[in-house]
Amino acid sequence: MEDIAQFFLEKLMIDERYGIAKPVDDQTLLLPRFLNTLEVCVDIYKQKYPNQSVTFAETYRSNSLQYKYFQQGASKIKADGMHHYGIAADSIFIINGKRTYKGDVMLLRKIYVDNGLTILGMWDALHVQLIPVGQQMQLRNAVSSKIKAFQNQQGIPVTGLVDDITVAKARSVFS
Ligand SMILES: [Zn+2]
């Protein structure tokens, strides 16, 4: 949890795409140890299907986009989903050079689970995340605590929220 919260503070919160209302597929916005595991999983998939590959249609997701998805009925979560912390990704296959959902979904899901990752139900079949659903609230609390500790350390109001003064301070410290 600690490294996820630190990554959020140092990298995601100060990124210019933090509030972007469009899908982002930049893999550098994923926690490195999560990305490493995804790469291992993709390699295993490619051993079975040498003519296919797997990439990620969405990595980081802002809360404004998350809320848009919620309003559209595309997501059950209003804010602070696991994509927001750089520890979730939505897989998509590449077959004959084209992005498609028609790969071996069940095999890919099995590979994710075998490698310690968490998948959701078939209603979100190609979503994969680092931590179990039962630990999500604990993560949100850890991030809030991390932000509070940073605010306290920097002598700015301790809100636990990603407000403008906190982002400005974090940018000056971490970038
Ligand atoms: Zn997802």
pLDDT over 90 for what percent of the chain? 97
Would residue 127 count as lying in a domain? yes
| Parent domain of 13 | 2-133
DSSP 8-state code for residue 9:
I
| 124-142 average pLDDT score | 97
Would residue 81 count as lying in a domain? yes
pLDDT of residue 164: 96
Ligand 1 centroid distance, CA of 76 (Å)? 11
Ligand 1 centroid distance, CA of 91 (Å)? 8
Ligand 1 centroid distance, CA of 6 (Å)? 21
| 54-65 average pLDDT score | 97
Cβ atoms within 10 Å of 84's Cβ, excluding its own? 21
Mean pLDDT of the chain: 97
Number of domains in the chain: 1
Answer whether residue 41 shows pLDDT above 90. yes
Ligand 1 centroid distance, CA of 153 (Å)? 34
Would residue 160 count as lying in a domain? no
Ligand 1 centroid distance, CA of 135 (Å)? 16
Ligand 1 centroid distance, CA of 39 (Å)? 17
**In the block, which residue shows the tokens 């998350």?**
66
Give the residues across from 128 on adjacent strands: 89, 119
Would residue 140 count as lying in a domain? no
Ligand 1 centroid distance, CA of 145 (Å)? 25
pLDDT in tens, 83-100: 999 999 999 999 999 999
| 21-37 average pLDDT score | 98
pLDDT in tens, 101-127: 999 999 999 999 999 999 999 999 999
Would residue 173 count as lying in a domain? no
Give the residues across from 56 on adjacent strands: 91
Would residue 115 count as lying in a domain? yes
Answer whether residue 152 shows pLDDT above 90. yes
Which CATH number does the domain housing residue 71 bear? Answer: 3.30.1380.10
pLDDT of residue 175: 86
pLDDT of residue 115: 98
Q: Where are the beta strands (DSSP E) in 68-159?
A: 88-95, 98-100, 118-119, 127-129
Instruction: Of 140, 19, 36, give the one whose Cα is nearest residue 89.
Output: 36
DSSP 8-state code for residue 50:
T
Ligand 1 centroid distance, CA of 83 (Å)? 6
